[in-house]
Structure 1
Amino acid sequence: MSRHSTQPGEASPLDADHVLGEEYEHVPVPIAARHSLFSMVAVWAGFPMIITGSMTGSILVLGMGFSRALVAMILGNLIMFAYVGALGVSATKCGRNFALTASQVFGTKGYMLASGLLSTLLLGWFAVQTGITGALIASTYEMNYVAMSVVAGLLYIAITFIGVRGLHLIGLVSVPLFLVLGLFVVLHSASTTTFEAIWTYAGNNGVATMSMGVGLTVVIALFIDAGTVTADFNRWAKTGTHSLIATFSAFPLSNLVAMLVGGILTAALAVPNANPFGADNMFGYMNKMQIGWLSVLAFLFLYINLGSVCSHCLYNAATGWSRILHSRMRLLAVVLGIIGIAIAAGNVWAFFIQWLSLLGIVVPPIGMILLVEAYIFKNSGKIEKEWRSTPFISWAIGATVGFIVEFYAPQLSTAISAGMVAGVAHLALSSLKDRRSAAGASI
């Protein structure tokens, strides 16, 4: 019997999935339901082209100086393109979301650990970004912080509830708005100085304190969580080429643009001890000009722009948990969104940033293990085991190396080290296991 049956006592066929479209939480997306290239680009481009990305660009320039920060931005984004692009193409071929893909690698029960971790991390980032929205609005316009956070959270839940089409729609508004305002901020701030002064900006108070390894980690870590669950988005692409183009629109294009807006602004103004997460960002710059219409536009921009990243993060979190709990994405979007709003409105979101960043060390190994399985072992069959030990051992090895690098070799890139070690470990351990199995079968 159809899930939309009209038998007495059953739900109306006009439920959310029937009206807004199926989200395919538990099965692959069929080819007939895939989206156009334009839609995929709108979904991906609207994700990283955000004010948080420009704040990150400012942090990099403050710590490295402009020219070295630019190198870190470019290299880090190219690494993200290779990583997310490869995961995305694999997802496009099979049409499965991250949780379904992970169940083939970690086991029919083991996937819950990987998917649950990433979904929870992304819910945490939803809460953080919602809190940032409320904090910036409240401090700039002297409005109630809790009210502004709740309004933001409810708006972002509504966008997510629409589904992947909602991400497409918010991207169509957010990207052009960021490009116009970002270009205005860059040109206006750059007009106060010279190109040479921007290029030779040496860092906060003339001192560079961030190594290239740390800079690369900062770039990669900004979207490594969502990049690892890229299957949630790229399963909707019609072809591998569409998948790659959509990914490229995010990494390096959108993410690099966002970082450059913040980086150029910081180098041009050269404010001592600048605080990009306070008033020293493009939002604060527009409001400091004290132009009525520009302040109103900045207000709308902040809600729309951070609404893009928040809805993407909530979509990932709801998709993952819907599979684990055998529920629906839209229901989990509401439930998890309310939890995120409570965290944001409670003004405790700032305490989560360091914790979420630290947990991010364990994310790159997951993606590298999935890549080894997809491209080297060609794993596309059904996995009967509830728990597969080798991926978990490889994950633990990579994460351990990541933590060692974080605390004892900070000049290196934590994200790259953890991911590469996990990938090599998984390849070696799986090959050794296969040889032992073959030797046992030949006896």
Structure 2
Amino acid sequence: MNIRSESNDSAAVQPIPLSRRRGLVFPAFAWLGFTSAFASIVIGSLLQSKLGTLDALAAAILGNWILFVYSAAIGFAAGRWGLSSQLTLAAVFGRWGALVPGILLGSLVTGWFAFHVVLTATILLNALHFSGAPAIVISVIGVAFAAPVIARLSHGFNMTAIAFPAMILFGGTVIAHYLMPKWTVLLDGSIGGTLPFGTGVCIAFGIFVVSGTMTGDIVRYCRTGNEAVLATAFAFLLSNLPFLILGVLIAAAGIKVGDLFAGNDALSFFLLALVVVSNWTTCDACISNASVTLKSAFPKLSWIIASAAAALLGILMAVMDAVGDVFGWALFLSAIVPPIGGVIVADYYVLRVRVGFSRFRAAPVNVAGLAAIAAGVGAAFLARQIVPGMIAPLIGAPLAGSVYLVLARLAPSRLGTDLGAAPHGTEALD
């Protein structure tokens, strides 16, 4: 996805016509690179320490399958009609109603930018034994990671293609050098842990639930909805899940992730370089994700302002260590984000049936949709308080979708769920 074209004209604010779609390969590799994140290895390692090896593996697998089904349902609709995440939200929640979930998602994805910036700074400070002020180092890394997007020197999700081979090389090196000598004892660790299993599932799910909900920014370049589903499968089942599992196995071998870079030898510096590349491309994708959303929500906003605002928010979150508790952050996301997807799925597959996104909302605000999100979020947080190990997305998303369908049936005109005429240009997508 070329950032220059995103910032200049219609790519961020209009559906992608079929003639400009790029098929499966580009979206699949964009997603592969985005989800082959070093953060998944870190989180997998933490899951093993809190759940035990077997439960951590099971939580990673179940969480990613739930994430795949959730994201694929959204991705099929967005890919079928060539819609960015914000255009999908506009079709569901109305032009102005879409600003609420859109700004929320755009802000939350910068949280992952912040996490990767802090992670990079921490690894570099420890590996290089640098004694500089962490806040300054974090700020410098944040600016360096965001600058190519702001200056339109990078190509958005094209950059993530670098991360996948880098992380494959990283994983292969770690397996050969550290895990193979201990392969006979990798599953001999503790069976249980202090963390409820359902909480581990939520954490595995929450890693990419924001970008999964915003999957239209990637899969809109697919030619069909089925291609979008396949691209999503590549992302979560063939990329994120294996790296989560690698993190679990590293911890099961008794190795701390930070120790991989502490050897002061060629191997340690080689692994460090691969991780910096991975974190940079992930940060690039996060800022691109947030910027496309802001540009689509506010078409008159220049690309530089949209991307700089997203980067500034991310750097501030990094300096303030707002996502330092990565488990707490992932759990928060697993409760607050899925209701948005629940409403999208209910709207597309139940209310619209064969109409699809050929027609947008007649009203500027879909009150029923926003009310359903609030109900789903409230139910997810309440369920977690009552039953700490509850798998929150399995509560919030279905409940939000159900509430939305009930409200749409009761008062479609008053609550803004009526559909308007087909927008100009969508006939080419039919």
Q: Give the Cα–Cα distance (whole angstroms) in 2 for the partners of residues 135 and 223 of structure 1.
A: 22
Q: Are positions 1:320 and 2:293 aligned together?
A: yes
Q: Give the Cα–Cα distance (whole angstroms) in 1 for the partners of residues 291 and 217 of structure 2.
A: 10
Q: Is the 8 A contact 2:336 2:377 kept in 1?
A: yes
The one of 297, 302, 319 equivalent to 2:270 is 297
**Matched position secondary structure for 2:182:** coil
Q: Give the Cα–Cα distance (whole angstroms) in 2 for the partners of residues 132 and 106 of structure 1.
A: 35
The one of 164, 172, 176 equivalent to 1:187 is 176
Q: Are positions 1:101 and 2:79 aligned together?
A: no
Q: Are positions 1:41 and 2:28 aligned together?
A: yes
**Matched position secondary structure for 1:47:** helix
Deviation of 1:43 after TM superposition, in Å, equals: 0.6
Residue identity in the other structure for 2:186: I
Q: Are positions 1:200 and 2:188 aligned together?
A: yes
Deviation of 1:299 after TM superposition, in Å, equals: 3.0
Q: Provide the aligned C-alpha RMSD in A.
A: 2.7
Question: Which structure 2 residues correspond to residues 77-226 of structure 1 after superposition, within 5 A?
Answer: 77-143=64-130, 144=132, 145-146=134-135, 148-161=137-150, 166-195=155-184, 197-202=185-190, 207-226=192-211
Q: Are positions 1:424 and 2:402 aligned together?
A: yes
Q: Give the Cα–Cα distance (whole angstroms) in 1 for the partners of residues 320 and 360 of structure 2.
A: 44
Deviation of 1:120 after TM superposition, in Å, equals: 0.9
Residue identity in the other structure for 1:371: V
Aligned residues, how many? Answer: 405
**1:185–1:170 Cα change, 3 Å:** same
Deviation of 1:351 after TM superposition, in Å, equals: 5.4
TM-score (norm 1): 0.83
Q: Are positions 1:403 and 2:381 aligned together?
A: yes
Structure 2 segments unaligned to the other structure (5+ residues): 416-430
Q: Give the Cα–Cα distance (whole angstroms) in 1 for the partners of residues 387 and 153 of structure 2.
A: 40
Q: Is the 8 A contact 2:157 2:285 kept in 1?
A: no
Structure 1 segments unaligned to the other structure (5+ residues): 1-15, 272-279, 438-443
Q: Give the Cα–Cα distance (whole angstroms) in 1 for the partners of residues 153 and 23 of structure 2.
A: 12
Q: Is the 8 A contact 2:33 2:161 kept in 1?
A: yes
Question: Which structure 2 residues correspond to residues 266-345 of structure 1 after superposition, within 5 A?
Answer: 266-269=251-254, 280-281=256-257, 284-291=258-265, 293-326=266-299, 327-344=301-318
Which residue of structure 2 lines up, in the alignment, with residue 240 of structure 1?
225
Deviation of 1:218 after TM superposition, in Å, equals: 0.8
Alpha-carbon displacement from aligned partner over 1:53-74 (angstroms, at most 9, x marks no partner): 0111112222222122222211
TM-score (norm 2): 0.86
Deviation of 1:436 after TM superposition, in Å, equals: 11
Q: Are positions 1:368 and 2:342 aligned together?
A: yes
Alpha-carbon displacement from aligned partner over 1:99-155 (angstroms, at most 9, x marks no partner): 122122222211111101111111222122212211221122123345543443234
Q: Is the 8 A contact 2:121 2:138 kept in 1?
A: yes
Alpha-carbon displacement from aligned partner over 1:220-277 (angstroms, at most 9, x marks no partner): 11111111111111112222232122111111110111101111110011x6xxxxxx
Percent identity reads 24
Q: Is the 8 A contact 2:202 2:330 kept in 1?
A: no
Q: Is the 8 A contact 1:228 1:367 kept in 2?
A: yes
Alpha-carbon displacement from aligned partner over 1:354-398 (angstroms, at most 9, x marks no partner): 467525522100001101111111252121212222112211211
Q: Is the 8 A contact 2:376 2:399 kept in 1?
A: yes
**1:163–1:369 Cα change, 3 Å:** farther
Q: Give the Cα–Cα distance (whole angstroms) in 2 for the partners of residues 181 and 302 of structure 1.
A: 8
Residue identity in the other structure for 1:199: L
**Matched position secondary structure for 1:312:** helix
Alpha-carbon displacement from aligned partner over 1:178-215 (angstroms, at most 9, x marks no partner): 112212212333244343x3223216xxx512222112
The structure with more radius of gyration = 1
Residue identity in the other structure for 2:75: G
**1:351–1:71 Cα change, 3 Å:** closer
**Matched position secondary structure for 1:306:** helix
Residue identity in the other structure for 1:183: G
**Matched position secondary structure for 2:253:** helix
The one of 236, 245, 250 equivalent to 1:251 is 236
Q: Give the Cα–Cα distance (whole angstroms) in 1 for the partners of residues 282 and 139 of structure 2.
A: 16
